[in-house]
Amino acid sequence: MDDHYNRIDCFDIGIAILVPKVEASSSSLKQELGVLRRPAVYVALLMTTFGFGGVFTAFTYISPILTDITKFPLNSVSYILVLFGAGSTLGNIIGGKLADRKLMPSLLGILVVLAIVLAVFSITDQYKVPALINVFVLGMAALGTIPGLQLHMLNTAKEAPTLASTLNVAAFNLVNALGAYIGGLVIDFQFGGGLTAVPWVVSIVTVVGILFTLWCAQQQKKSIRP
């Protein structure tokens, strides 16, 4: 029991050191629901849905891609996914720092990189070393988008931070299901070669997210012009 509580104390201390302190905010139910009247909130949700949608599709089918196309043995896939995890951790840190400095430009840049990395994976998955590099960079680009998408949603619905966070997480969960479905359609109908076409097809989904982000950035520029 003592060891258990010691571990909890160390965990709490780590959080206190690493996580910045912010003032707690409270809002009424009316304020929370009031933000649903803003079109910008729905645009932010579409940015999340399409911007991150391709990632879930690629990740859902990454195991058969690595084994059937790249010809890695099945027991090596778990170790390869460690590369994705390492890239995700690094990308999340970098994405958070960039979002704090320049939110929309950095978010646009990372989404463009993500679309390119997904499309290129259709080529690099033919070769083992390039495929490994691509998996790592895909993890960086994928998780690098999350801080920016989340921060943009919170900025869009400042009066309703709880609802804003909930809606954005719901959008991530939605694209988790839709991403797998889209990839299944590509494979079932053998669109562009079936499994080999999954990465470049879903890169188009990310491009749609880029278009929504561009439109949002333009609207923000117009709103601050005198």
Residue 183: the pLDDT is 84
Q: State the Cα angle at 120 between 80 and 51, rounded to 5°.
A: 90
What whole-number distance in Å separates Cα of residue 64 and Cα of residue 95?
29
Task: Name residue 206's amino acid.
Answer: T
Domain ranges (residues) in the chain = 30-224
Residue 14: the pLDDT is 47
Residue 58 near residue 138, CB atoms below 8 Å: yes
pLDDT (mean) for 164-191: 84
Q: Per-residue pLDDT tens for 80-101?
A: 999 999 999 999 999 999 999 9
pLDDT (mean) for 198-226: 85
Q: Which of 44, 39, 136, 154 is nearest to 90 (CA)?
A: 136
Q: Per-residue pLDDT tens for 13-45?
A: 444 555 555 555 556 666 667 777 788 888 999
pLDDT (mean) for 128-133: 96
Q: Which of 143, 145, 207, 183 is nearest to 57 (CA)?
A: 183
Mean per-residue pLDDT of the chain:
84
Second-level CATH architecture of 30-224: Up-down Bundle (1.20)
pLDDT (mean) for 146-162: 88
Between 28-42, 54-68, 147-161, 201-215, the lowest mean confidence (pLDDT) is in: 28-42
